[in-house]
Structure 1
Amino acid sequence: MISPRADCVLSGLNSEQLHRLMHVGEYIELDENKVFIHESHKERCFYYIADGTVEIYKNSGTRIHVLTTLPAGETVGELALVDDHARSASVKTLERVKMYRFDIEQLQQNPQFADILTAIDSRIGKQLSQRLRHINEVTVAVLRRKFAMSIFSIRALVLLSLYALSLSFIEKSKHLLPSTTALSLVLIFIFAVVTYSVIRQSGYPREDYGLSIKNAPEHIYEAVLYSIPIMILIVLIKWLAITHIPSLCCYPLFDPDAMFKQGVVFNWTIYFIALFFYALFCPLQEFIVRGCMQSSFQNLIEGSANRKKWEAIFVSNLLFSSAHAHTSTGFAIITFIPGMFWGWLYYRQHTLVGVSVSHILIGVWAAFIVGFQNML
């Protein structure tokens, strides 16, 4: 029995026409994972799925791209009625499937099926028109988004370059200034404000750039959970370094006054003020690197979802760590390595809440408690 779905090309046929069509079709049953339409093969037939589900896919040579799945009540391969070219995709069963196979030449040569073919062709024409309209709308939306993201990326790279030059100037002028920390924080704040204004001009919602508190408690819990092993690893690395490298054996495992090694007397007030401003600095840094740069690259890079994810994470971290290379190679490295983890966490949660909490936890632990920077 043929019972087409509402959007099936056979849905325009009446019960008498469906009855005639069913009797000329070849009833077949196929087991799971059986390919019955082969890409690049020329076949003059189409199928009606009476029971089961099939998958349409393309093979690029390096990987399989699943286009869609079709349930019972749908037809597949019907474009062969209006196009005698080779198949553009392959189709296989996802479970045991019952189908009717229709030979197009047999239908076309029999005048009794002229009314059926006319109705099917009309239905196919309407579907192709709808698909073309949908494809055009999607294409325009994608191009508009890529254009907006490319403009944003260019502006972000310009801001990042100015940020790197400003940090370099501060680093070279530190002997002329009483303190460079406050100036660096002000600089970060200014760039974050400018970047946010660029986001507002892009026309896309703030959620696209990670500015959302949706599911914040869950994201914070997950961020803390994932950060604990890294904090343990930091202690382990320092312990191995101070126990196996003679030049580092003088350093304690936990060194809160590591930030005061430049001839400055340790002071708890200054220590907590520095810690407080560092905690403020982390979300701003994450906003620039993850929210702005990584989000933009994810929309610009082509390829599979996995490739887009890791390339966006890698490139955004590489650019930001390169901006700090003038301070020291070691500082650039410790900026890059945990940044890969934070990039993955941001991709997983797509919000800045969790990744900012993780950055604060790991950064405070490494710099203010373990004193990891005294080994660089």
Structure 2
Amino acid sequence: MTHSGAATQAGTALPRMAVAFELLVTVLLLWWLLDALPPQWWAVSEAIDGLPWRFVLARLLELFTLLVLLRWVARLGLGAADIGLHWCGARRSLAVALVWTLPLMACLYLLATHAALSASVPLGLDWSRLDWTYATYALVVPLQELMARGMLQSALERLLPWPGPIARWGAVVLAALLFALWHWSFGVPLALVSLFSGLLWGGLFALHRNLLGVSVSHFLLGNWAGVLGLWTLWS
């Protein structure tokens, strides 16, 4: 390798390391904010007409994360197709996602039914649990998938200094771990659920590079868990 070639490679590595460092610091900061805020910050709703401040603050943090990720995507030169924003292969990604999602919904139903026999919280199918937050999930889920899979996972895949397939699946694991960290403040059970679901959705995204299937899967499984009362059990 010539001197100029080595210098170019070193110059390329430095921005990659800088972006990776920014990524790590921001993710850890968001984790700290969610996990370290004192209980009274999350309990403001008790003083203001039941306004769900925990829900609102979590959404605001997600919007902040989106802005940071947009900067990383631009710096890494990732296009719309790279982050899953296209229709090519959308039908196949949706079909494969449903093949995984529908059996998992059946498993969640069996889990809730069995756990209801000994759980200290009410579990089981109850449509009365539906409220306005379930409708907002239709907006929240695509945003979360765009950030966690489309942007974060794709950025990690570009940043990892490994051969193609290893970087792809390494990014799946790392993005799933970070996705679990973002849910840590809601309790260890939900963080573990987020880890395993993140591996599922990350794997589906890695195969199809399309956000439609993973977003529909996330929406169905998340709302189904809520209707079954499992969110209360996990958090």
Task: Using structure 2 for the length normalisation, give the TM-score.
Answer: 0.80
- Of residues 327, 337, 342, the one that matches 2:196 is 337
Matches of 2:40 and 2:152 in 1, distance apart? Answer: 27
Deviation per CA, 1:241-287, whole angstroms, max 9, x where unpaired?
Answer: 224xx245x734213455xxxxxxxxx6xx0x201222211112112
Q: How does 1:225-236 map to 2 (within 5 A)?
A: 225-236=99-110
Deviation per CA, 1:215-255, whole angstroms, max 9, x where unpaired?
Answer: 32332233223211111111122223224xx245x734213
2:111 maps to 237
1:158 maps to 25
1:14 maps to none
Letter in 2 for 1:327: F
Letter in 1 for 2:59: L
Unaligned runs of 5+ in 1: 1-131, 259-267
Say if 2:144 is the partner of 1:285: yes
Structure having the higher strand fraction is 1
Q: How does 1:99-114 map to 2 (within 5 A)?
A: none
Structure 1 residues 306 and 285, CA, compared in 2 at 3 Å: closer, same or farther? same
Matches of 1:238 and 1:143 in 2, distance apart? Answer: 54
Q: Does the CA-based 8 Å contact 2:112-2:229 persist in structure 1?
A: no
> 1:206 offset after TM fit, Å?
3.0
Matches of 1:324 and 1:204 in 2, distance apart? Answer: 26
Secondary structure of 1:173's aligned partner: helix
> 1:336 offset after TM fit, Å?
0.9
Unaligned runs of 5+ in 2: 46-50
> 1:165 offset after TM fit, Å?
3.1
Structure 1 residues 225 and 371, CA, compared in 2 at 3 Å: closer, same or farther? same
1:310 maps to 169
Matches of 1:305 and 1:202 in 2, distance apart? Answer: 16
- Of residues 226, 231, 235, the one that matches 1:373 is 231
- The RMSD of aligned alpha carbons is 3.1
Q: Does the CA-based 8 Å contact 1:150-1:296 persist in structure 2?
A: no
> 1:171 offset after TM fit, Å?
5.5
Q: Does the CA-based 8 Å contact 1:188-1:281 persist in structure 2?
A: no
Q: Does the CA-based 8 Å contact 2:76-2:158 persist in structure 1?
A: no
Identity of aligned residues (%): 24
2:160 maps to 301
Structure 1 residues 176 and 329, CA, compared in 2 at 3 Å: closer, same or farther? same
Matches of 1:207 and 1:149 in 2, distance apart? Answer: 21
Task: Using structure 1 for the length normalisation, give the TM-score.
Answer: 0.52
Structure 1 residues 143 and 371, CA, compared in 2 at 3 Å: closer, same or farther? farther
> 1:320 offset after TM fit, Å?
2.4
Q: Does the CA-based 8 Å contact 2:69-2:152 persist in structure 1?
A: no
Secondary structure of 2:78's aligned partner: coil
Matches of 1:320 and 1:234 in 2, distance apart? Answer: 21
Aligned length: 225
Rg comparison, structure with higher value = 1
> 1:193 offset after TM fit, Å?
2.7
Q: How does 1:1-376 map to 2 (within 5 A)?
A: 144=12, 149-168=16-35, 169=37, 172-177=40-45, 178-180=51-53, 181-243=55-117, 246-248=118-120, 251-257=122-128, 271=131, 273-303=132-162, 305-367=164-226, 369-376=227-234
Matches of 1:184 and 1:302 in 2, distance apart? Answer: 32
Secondary structure of 2:24's aligned partner: helix
Secondary structure of 1:299's aligned partner: helix
| Structure showing greater relative contact order (alpha-carbon pairs closer than 8 Å, 6 or more residues apart) | 2
Matches of 2:11 and 2:95 in 1, distance apart? Answer: 37
